[in-house]
Structure 1
Amino acid sequence: MAALAIKQHNTTVLENLEKGDLLEFKRGVYSHWAVYAGDEKVIHLAGEENDGLNANINSASLFTICGRQFNKAFVRVDDFWKVVNDCKVYKNNSKDRKMSPATAEEIVKRGLDMIGEIGYNLLWSNCEHFASYCRYGKPKSDQVDSFFTWAAVSGAVAAGILAVAVGSSKEKKKKVEERLQTA
């Protein structure tokens, strides 16, 4: 039942796509990104051996594509249905609010011009960076930005808790020393 609902959702998304639209394939803890090239084809950054096409994740490694470590990745054209696999896909041009997209022809051309092996870095050159570069001429990853924001906030909260704990500990130490001096 759920698989049928996902298939219907993805069919509706596919029917409403235009060349140059960005696609976000929800993979659970992360999203895979691609550019719609038309004719049920997508251009995306993926690892070797089918990677980027499924949702298999090995959380033991941070610098991965779909759970597998890579020093390199490939820009390639694949069938929409091969990439979507069993996850939900969404048209996501949300960065249009902040950046100006190129024409559909230019977006697809940028992607096709990069076909082949390129470097991969989870933080600076991932599939979302690639898709954003194709559409806007600028590599941008909201997933990475969100991670850095989360890390900064978490660090600030931890520092605040530590400061309170250290301050409280100093106060206790001072009170103990005062008591010992008066005894």
Structure 2
Amino acid sequence: MAPTFNGKPGDLIEIFRKDYQHWAVYIGENEVVHFTTGGGQSSGSLRLLSSSAGKVKREKLADVVGNDRYQVNNLLDNRRKAREPSVIVMEARAMVGRELSYNVATYNCEHFAVEMRYGKAESLQVIKTLITVAIVTPVAAVVAGPVVAIAAVAVGAFALCRSLFSSRSSS
């Protein structure tokens, strides 16, 4: 954990886990609101297509971060107008305790945090992974043939699942 923190209420906090990033909304007084499944390890890639229960929690930043590295990352400020900090904090606090449908591809912790700050859910982790798969597959088909392209899709799907499911306890 970093020794000093210069976040402001309404900022997005990116927490660097082993194979993915967990996201939270800073609400002030060293507290964050975040969306988590609270479950254990993923049990397979088919969960990509399924949903499970997730819960919005309010916790101390230090408890959510643990020993992981983190930073303020208002990742879409250059493309979208952030809502007023008081609105972000008020809406994030109002979500605490709610159970939502969690789906790693369509609504995860990053979708939640981005929705609180900008008013619309989005996950750049998911988008980047899907773009990588979309680029690698046709290139593999041209260079090495359809068998390699199919293998590239399988590897890409595995990488997506691994990066997004590696630890469902915090995302």
2:18 aligns with 28
The 10-residue stretch of structure 1 (108-117 or 123-132) with the greater mean CA deviation from structure 2: 108-117
**Contact 1:75–1:117 (Cα < 8 Å) also in 2:** yes
Alignment counterpart, residue 87 of structure 2, candidates 85, 92, 106: 106
Q: Which residue of 1 aligns with 2:124?
A: 142
- Higher-RCO chain (CA-CA 8 Å, sequence separation at least 6): 2
SS in 1 for 2:3: helix
Root-mean-square deviation (CA, aligned residues, Å) is 2.2
- Find runs of 4+ consecutive structure 1 residues off by over 2 angstroms: 56-64
Match of 1:131 among 107, 113, 116: 113
Question: 2:36 matched to which residue of 1?
Answer: 46
Q: Kindly, what percent of the aligned residue pairs are identical? A: 33
Change (3 A) 1:125 1:58: closer
Write the deviation string for residues 85-127 of structure 1: whole angstroms up to 9, x where unpaired. Answer: 1100010012100010001111112212222111101011000
**Alignment correspondent of 1:81:** 62
1:70 CA drift (Å): 6.5
Task: Give the gaps of 5 or more residues in structure 1.
Answer: 1-6, 166-183
Q: Deviations over 1:68-99 (max 9, x none)?
A: x9711001101111100110001001210001
**Structure with larger Rg:** 1
Number of the residue aligned with 2:152:
none
Contact 1:101 1:136 in 2 (8 A): yes
Question: Per the alignment, do residues 62 and 81 of structure 1 end up closer, same or farther by CA in structure 2, a change over 3 Å counting?
Answer: farther
Unaligned runs of 5+ in 2: 149-171
Aligned to 1:168: none
Select which of 53, 60, 66 maps to 1:72.
53
Q: What SS is found at the alignment partner of 1:33?
A: strand
| Cα distance in 2, alignment partners of residues 45 and 62 from structure 1 | 21
